[in-house]
Amino acid sequence: MITTEIQLPDSLFDQLQQVLHTHPALSWNVVLCQALHAYLPQLVDSEPQDSSSLL
C-alpha cells in the first residue's frame, strides 16, 4: 500500500470547520471527502509527474 503525506493549507481546515459549524448535521467524513474531491485535482495538476503513475 502506498501512502502519501499531503500538506493541506490551513485555510482549507478553517473552511472545513466553518462548514461544520454552520451545518452541524454534516459529518467530518462527508466534509473531508468533498474538500479532498475539490482540492486533489489542484495537487495532481501541480505535480510534474506522468499521469500514468497515478493509476
Whether residue 5 is contained in a domain is answered as no
Q: What Rg do the C-alpha atoms of the chain give, in angstroms?
A: 14
**Does any domain span residue 51?**
no
Q: How many structural domains comprise the chain?
A: 1
pTM of the model: 0.34
**Domain that residue 17 falls in:** 10-45
Give pLDDT, residue 6. Answer: 66
- Residue 20 resides in a domain: yes
Please write the tens of the pLDDT for every residue from 17-49. 787 778 777 777 777 787 777 777 776 666 555
Q: Output the pLDDT for position 22.
A: 80
CA neighbor of 36 nearest in space, from 3, 9, 1, 18: 9
